[in-house]
Structure formats: structure tokens, C-alpha cells
Structure 1
């Protein structure tokens, strides 16, 4: 199972030097890939800018956006961004995760509507692939570049939760990004089972790529900081939901993180992203040590 790590994009006050240190540590570590999520509200850094910086500052690790809330953005602009970052990385944008998003406030802040977002994303995926194939979007205007490093562009994974959403995306997605905040085997395995069925019913010849993810902390005072991170992350959904989720996560020591990794592997993950609760470099260093002993 390949191991990836998410950049600390949710922490306020991080500097250029902080991110350069993260890029270097991840690239030098035992990691297959790095990722970054997309949020509008809160002290979040822009996913595209961080990943573009990572594309230039690293040499080895794969770079995977997790994820674009695609219906909030123009598809052609996203296709152009991804192709540009792919070139800047030297072809390390092999996969991109797309999702519908569930934060109405983020849609509103970008003057977009959540209404019709499922149908909209189907059309957007078609447009992105047309851009990467060099087809005209506007008749007579010529193709929109640049061309990505691989024919047809990167693999597209979907971050969808419900069976209906997964079934809808099975027509075009190359895999599923399944999330279990506490790294539980049953949650991940159930999501992959739904995807396997949906892919088969859609007549897809290849099985879906299976990517998982969970929150963790190996920093000092990790239990409290993991709790606070998850609460802050979900506070926009209301205090009851935020409190319930914050109290349900406990991957804040080596044994607990090791168990979550075992869970992900047993669930069938081909790759798993660990999302740190802090921006401490100890999150990378201690995780690297754990992986070396695993």
C-alpha cells in the first residue's frame, strides 16, 4: 500500500519557509505522494497555489489534489490549471480527485450555486477531457493548452460518499477516494464494495482505483490538537456535528496510527493519505519513523 501525506493547508500563519520545509521533508521521506484539499472559508491556503509550489519545490513525490470541488469552478480553467501544474511537476500529476462538496457557504462565496451540481460535474468532466485531448471548446477558436504530459490527462478519482453519487461517477471516474476520519476498516471497505458494484454495473472493464484517507496527529499533545483540528474543520456544519466527529477520532499515537494503516490495507486501499492535525514537522518525522518500523 502506498502512503501519502496531506499538506497543512488549514493552519493560519504559515510562512514560505514553513512550506518549503514541508515540501523538502515529504520529498525526502518514505512517501509516495502529497496532497492538499480545497476549502474557501477559514484560515485555509489555496490548494492550487500550494500544489503549484510543491510541483516546483519537489522532485520525486506524486502530487494529487484531494480534491477539487469541481462544480464551484469553470471546467476549462481547472483543466488548464491541472495541465500547467502537471508540466511544472515534470509529469507527477498522475491523479486528480474531484468532488461535489457539501459546504453551501463556499459555493456562495464564489457566487456559485449547489443546485444542479451533480449534472454539472458530469458535463465538466467531459469538457476537461476535451481540453486535454486538444479539441476545440469554442468553435473556430482553436484548442486550449497546454497539453498535459500524458495522453488524455491524469486519472480522475472521485470523492463521493453515497451509493447514488458513486454510481453516477462510475461512468467516468477511474477510482474512488474513500474517507474515514478515524481510519476504520469497515467504513473504507464498505465504500470500496459500493464502488466495485457500481463500476461493474456501469460496464467498466477496470476495477476502480482505491484511495483512502484519515486524520492523525503524532505531534506533542496530539490528542487535544487532533480533537481541536477536527472540531474546527467541521465547525461550519454546526457545533453538534463538529463535537461528535472530534470526539470520535483517536489516531494520535504510534500504535493508533499503525492500526489505522493496517485497517486501510485490510480494507483494500491501494494508497492512503494521512491528513495531519498540525503543521509541526514532527508530524512528518515521527510518521516517517513509524513507517520505517512497520
Structure 2
């Protein structure tokens, strides 16, 4: 099983120096991927711009979106932007997609909240794949380019939850961008089994299985996770958030984290993508030491 690291893009006071330091540390470390997700009505960096910077700042790791929401973008423009990142990174792009959990992001992007469906997501993916295949999807003299380095376009993962959404995604996705709130191994196993079954039913190759979770290590780890979650979950009703805080994310020692990762590996995961709850770049070194 491989291990990826997420950029702390949802932390307060993100700037270029912080991001570049994290990106270069991840690329120079033992990690397989560098990940981050998309929000609109928040103080995080814009995803496509940051992907371009990460392509320039790295030489080795895969760049993974966890996740992007196609309905916040024109699908032809999004296809062109992602193909450009794939070209700049020399074929190191994986795109996790989903419908998102916040209506406010749709409103902020000028997108119709009624498009927040997995059917509409699939329709937009189809347009993007046609662009990447070199089809003329618009009335223009030439097709929309550039062509992606990866034949047929970047690897696509679905951030779906539930059997219906998973079965729909099996028609077009290469695997799943999973997530665990509390590292319940029975839930992770059930999710992986659900995905395997959906892909087999659709006659697709074995799916790529990834999952992720928030983490903090050492003294004060639980307080660190809770501080991060209070900032990130700014849209959740306070009582609901307070009930989540004691059990959401991993807070413990490096030995305990190693054991959690071993359990997920035993379930057949291809990759786990850790999500930091601090902007301190030393977090990268702490996990690198754990892997080493």
C-alpha cells in the first residue's frame, strides 16, 4: 500500500511560502502522491491554479484532487485546464471528482444547485473524456487541446458515498477516493467490498481503492484535530460539530498510526492519503520517519 500526503490548504493563513515548503517536502519524501481538495466559499487557494504550481514545484509525486466538483466549472474549460496540468506534470495527475456537500459552493460559483446530482456529474465527465479523446465537442475549427499526456485523460476517482452513487460511478471511474471519519475498519471494509462489487457488475477492471483521514501525532493531538475541524466545518450546526469532535480523525502516537495503516493495507487499499490538521511542515517529516 502506498501513502500520500494532503496539503494543508484548509488551514488559516495559507501563503506561497507555506505551500511551496510543503509541496517540496512531500515530493522529496517517501510519499506516492500530493493531494488537496476544492472548496469555493472558503479561504483555501483555488484548485486549478494550485495544481499548476504543484506541477512546477514537483518532479516525482502524483498530483491528486480529493475532490473537485465538475458542476462548479464549465466542463470543456475544466477538461482543458486538467489536460494542461497533466501536460505540465508529465502525466502525474489523478482527478478525484464528486458532487460536494455544500450548496453554498454552488451559489458562490454561480452554479445551479439543481445540478448537484451524480447523473449530472457523469454527463460532465463524458464531455471531458470526449475532449481528452480529441473529439470536436464545440463548433470550432480544431478540437479543444492540449492533449493530455495520459492516453484518454487522467485517472478518475469518485468521491461517492452509498451503493447507488457507487454503481453509477462504476461506468466511468477508475476507482474510489474514499474517506474515513473515525477509521472504523468495518466501515472501510464494507466500502471497499461495495466498490469491488459495483465494478465487477459493470464489467470493469478492478478498481483503485484509496481512502483518507485527518491526523495529528503526539502530545496535544486531539486538541489539534479539534481546532482544525472547528475551522473546516464552518457550515455545520454547532451541536452536531461538538458531537463529532471527540471521535473524528486520528489522534495518537506514530506506533498507533502505523497500526491503523497496517489494518487498512490488510483490507486491500492501494493508497491512504493522510490529511494534516496543522500547517507545520514538520508534520511531513514526522510521517516520513514513520514510513522509514
**TM-score (norm: length of structure 1):** 0.94
Quote the offset at 1:114 in angstroms.
Answer: 2.6
Map 1:53-202 onto structure 2 (within 5 A). Answer: 53-93=53-93, 95-116=94-115, 117-202=117-202
Number of equivalent positions: 290
Distance 2:136 2:239 in 1: 48
Map 1:248-263 onto structure 2 (within 5 A). Answer: 248-249=247-248, 251-252=250-251, 253-263=253-263
Query: Structure 2 vs 1, CA of residues 140 and 50 (structure 1 numbering), >3 Å: closer, same or farther?
Result: closer
Displacement over 4 Å in runs of 4+? none
Distance 2:23 2:249 in 1: 26
Quote the offset at 1:44 in angstroms.
Answer: 1.3
1:241 aligned partner? 240
Residue 274 (1) aligns with residue 274 (2): yes
| 1:210–1:271 CA contact under 8 A, matched in 2 | yes
CA RMSD of aligned residues (A): 1.5
SS, match of residue 216 in structure 1: strand
Quote the offset at 1:178 in angstroms.
Answer: 1.3
Residue 5 (1) aligns with residue 2 (2): no
Residue 15 (1) aligns with residue 15 (2): yes
Quote the offset at 1:232 in angstroms.
Answer: 2.5
Residues 135-184 of structure 1: CA distance to partner in whole angstroms, max 9, x if unpaired? Answer: 00113442000100021011111000111111111111110111102333
Residues 42-72 of structure 1: CA distance to partner in whole angstroms, max 9, x if unpaired? Answer: 3212222222111101111111111111122
Query: Structure 2 vs 1, CA of residues 276 and 197 (structure 1 numbering), >3 Å: closer, same or farther?
Result: same
Query: Structure 2 vs 1, CA of residues 290 and 108 (structure 1 numbering), >3 Å: closer, same or farther?
Result: same
Larger RCO: Structure 1 or Structure 2 (Cα < 8 Å, ≥ 6 residues apart)?
2
Unaligned runs of 5+ in 2: none
Unaligned runs of 5+ in 1: none
